[in-house]
Amino acid sequence: MPTRGTPTPNISTATATATAEAASTLLRELVAHLRQNRTQLREEWARRITEAELLTAMTKEEIFAEATSVYDNYVEALETGTFEALQAYARNLSERIIPRGVETHEVVGIVLLLRDVLARSLFAKYQTDFTKLNRILDAYEPAANRIANTVAVGFVQERERIIREQQEAIRELSTPVLQVRERLLILPIIGVIDPQRARQLTEQLLRGIRTNRAKVVVIDITGVAAMDATVANHLVQTVEASRLLGATVIVTGLSPEIAQTLVTIGVDLGKMTTVGDLQGGIEEAERLLGYKVVPFVEGAVEA
C-alpha cells in the first residue's frame, strides 16, 4: 500500500490509489481554476506564442482570437473527457490556417506552450501543498497529452488531405484531354511521365475517346524531356488501346533525342503515326477526318 496524504517526494506512488472519483474531483477543481483565470492565462499563452515566433503568418488579434477558442475547447475537453468538439475545432482551425502557410511544428508548438502555461499556473497555485500538486498534475497530464495529440493529429490529417487533393488536381490538370473540334481530341503531355501517370493518362484518354466519340487523337509530347523504355511502351500501348476503340492516334513533337532513344531501345515506331509538330498533327488529323484545309492555313505553314 503506497503512502498517501503524507508529504513525500515519491511522486510516482502519490496518487496510484486515488480513486476515479477522486481524480474527477481533482479535474473539476482544475477546470474551475482554469475558468477563473481564463483571461490572464490565455493572455499569457498568446504572449508566449508571439515570443516564440510561432504563427507568424497571423496577426496579434487573430492569434488572440484563436487562442481563446482553443483555450475554451481545451477546458471543455478536460471537463467532459470527450474530444469530439475539440477534434472538430482542430480540423476547422487547420482548414483555415493551412492555406496561410502555418507549419506542423507551429501547431505542435502552441499546444505544448499552452500545456506549459497551464502547468506553471498549477505550480504557482499549489506550491505550498506538494502532494496535492502531484495529484493535480497526475490528473492533468494524461488529459493534456491527449489534447495535444488530438490537435496535432487533426492538423496533420487535414494537411495530408489537402495535399492529396492538390496532387489529384495537379494530375488532372497535367493531362487535359481537349476536344478541339468534333471527333478530334488533343492530349498535350508536359513534364515527367512515370508509370502511374502513364496509366492514368491512358485511362483518361480512353474514356475521353468514348464520351466524345473521337475518331482522331493527337498526342503532343513536345513538353516531354525524356522517355525511357517503360514510358515508350506505355505510349505504344496507349496508341493500340485507342485503336481498339476505333480512334487513330497521331503522335507529335518527338524530339530528336527521344526519337534516337526509341530507335535504340527498339520501340516499334511503325505502330504509330508520327508528325513533326502539333500544327502538322492537327492538319493531318483534319485530313483524316475529311475536313478541307483552308488556304490561309497553308499560307501560315509556309510562312
> Should residue 291 be labelled a site residue for other proteins when binding is judged by CB under 8 A?
yes
- Helices 195-212 and 229-244 pack at an angle, to 10 degrees, of 20
Nearer to other proteins, 33 or 183 (CB): 183
Select the span of 21-29, 95-103, 111-119, 236-244 touching other proteins (CB under 8 A). Answer: 236-244
> Should residue 269 be labelled a site residue for other proteins when binding is judged by CB under 8 A?
no
CB 2 within 8 A of CB 13: yes
- Burial label for 190, CB within 10 Å (0-12, 13-18, 19+), is middle
- As measured in angstroms, the least distance from the Cβ of 241 to other proteins is 4
- As measured in angstroms, the least distance from the Cβ of 211 to other proteins is 10
Out of 81, 191, 246, 276, the only residue in the binding site for other proteins (CB under 8 A) is: 246
Nearer to other proteins, 129 or 194 (CB): 194
Site residues for other proteins, 162-221, by CB under 8 A, read: 182-183, 202-203, 206-207, 209-210, 213, 215-216
Output the CA–CA distances (angstroms, integers) from residue 68 to 18, 32, 96, 204, in the order listed.
Answer: 32, 16, 16, 48
CB 237 within 8 A of CB 202: yes
CB 143 within 8 A of CB 24: no
> Should residue 289 be labelled a site residue for other proteins when binding is judged by CB under 8 A?
yes
Select the span of 62-70, 109-117, 241-249, 259-267 touching other proteins (CB under 8 A). Answer: 241-249
Q: How many residues contact other proteins, by CB under 8 A?
A: 25
Distance (Å, whole) CA 122 – CA 133: 7
- Helices 38-51 and 60-80 pack at an angle, to 10 degrees, of 130
- Chain position carrying cell 520501340: 267
Nearer to other proteins, 6 or 196 (CB): 196
Residues forming contacts to other proteins in the complex (CB under 8 A) are 182-183, 202-203, 206-207, 209-210, 213, 215-216, 237, 240-248, 288-291
